[in-house]
Structure formats: structure tokens, C-alpha cells
A and B are shown apart, each in its own frame.
Chain A
């Protein structure tokens, strides 16, 4: 059974940093693509970042490019999102999701439960 468990969210001041983690189980993490998707309070879904299978290729939304970094530690079965220079508009629930695990059409097939990030003074 595929399971994703996010952690690392919290309250941070504008300009601060936070590292989110997504521990995965139930699939071959080293070869599968993953994404981060966020949802601001009361708003819709926004894709944030993608990392390809085997770590080849990373992509970012313009809103986070240059501030966020996606990477994985295969030995720990964990996906990360390093978030620097945080802004109030980064306040959201952050979800990690498998991307194309069940099909090469690349939907977000499995999701974690989310971790809350609040950027406020």
C-alpha cells in the first residue's frame, strides 16, 4: 500500500526558511516521480514543484523558483522541499504526491495528508 507522510510544517517569520519532508512507503521511491502541491487557506490547488524518476529533472512554479528546492534522499525514502525567503503568500497546506506512479499520463495519483505552513510576523 502506497503511503505518504508529510512533516516539517509550522509557523515561520517572513524571510525565514523551512524544510518539509515526505516519508514514503509501499513503492519504489528511487524510480518514481514526485511533486509538491499547495493549497492556500480557502483557495484552490497550486502545483509547486516536480522531481523526475531517478531524480532526473526538477521543475518549479514561477512563484517559488529560486526560493524552493525539491530533492530526495533514497536511503531514507524521503522527499524534501527546502523553502527559503518565505513570504506571507506561501502560507498554505503543502501536499506531497506521487506523479505518474500508476500511469505515464502523470496524474497526482497518491497524496499525503498535508502539512501546514504559516508565514507570519
Chain B
């Protein structure tokens, strides 16, 4: 199985800050890497797929990057609605696997 190691598990930030969350895959996943935001009490929502492609309707303050098996999600300027939990997910092979999540707190 492909393991996804996400870090940090939590971070504190302020509105307007730039934050970066990282995810490392245990095997090559050919950029089949997706990022989700989950607000409290809500279903997750897709932000980025294929490591760096913004899903339709997602604000441009979100961006993704990749280097081999290392991936990053960057939020350029945190907005109030971005205080949430973020997950990476590999869709290269089953069993599909998620990172442990990163909680972004005020």
C-alpha cells in the first residue's frame, strides 16, 4: 500500500498569512495527488488534483506543487473560511490513501 505522510498535523496562523502543507508518498504516484479542505461539520471539498491543477471554482490563492514523491499545498493569503482541516490523497492505485490531515487554526 502507498503511505501518505502529511505535515504538520496542525498549525496556527493569522488571516492574511501564507501557509504551506506538505505530503510525501511512500512510492511513486505519478502526480496522482489531490488536496481537500474540510470545514468543521462539513464534507470535504476538492481543491487541487493532479498535484497542481485547481478544481473549477476554487480561489487562486490555493496552489499545489510537486517534486518527485513530495507534494505541497500553499495558501497565499489565509481567509477566514480557510481555517479548516486539509488532506492529501493519492488516486494512483487502490487502496486509495489519505494523509493524516493538517488542522489550520487561528
Can you list, as one digit per residue, whether each of A72-106 has a CB less than 8 Å from chain B (1) or not (0)? 00000000000000000000000100011011011
User: Among the listed B34, B56, B101, which residue makes an inter-chain contact with A107, where contact means beta carbons less than 8 Å apart?
Assistant: B34
Query: B15-23, B65-73, B92-100: which lies at the A interface?
Result: B92-100
Chain A interfacial positions (CB closer than 8 Å to B):
35, 37, 44-47, 50, 59, 61-62, 95, 99-100, 102-103, 105-114
Q: List 21 A-B contacts (CB under 8 A).
A: A35-B96, A37-B44, A44-B98, A44-B100, A45-B38, A45-B44, A45-B87, A45-B89, A45-B101, A47-B96, A59-B95, A95-B43, A100-B91, A103-B49, A106-B32, A107-B34, A108-B34, A108-B46, A110-B46, A111-B43, A112-B43
Sort chain B's interface into a size bin. Answer: 20 to 34
**Interface residue SS majority, chain B:** loop
Interface: B105 (CB within 8 A)? no
**Which single member of A61, A109, A112, A114 contacts B55 (CB below 8 Å)?**
A109
Nearest-neighbour CB distance to chain A for B15, whole angstroms, equals 25
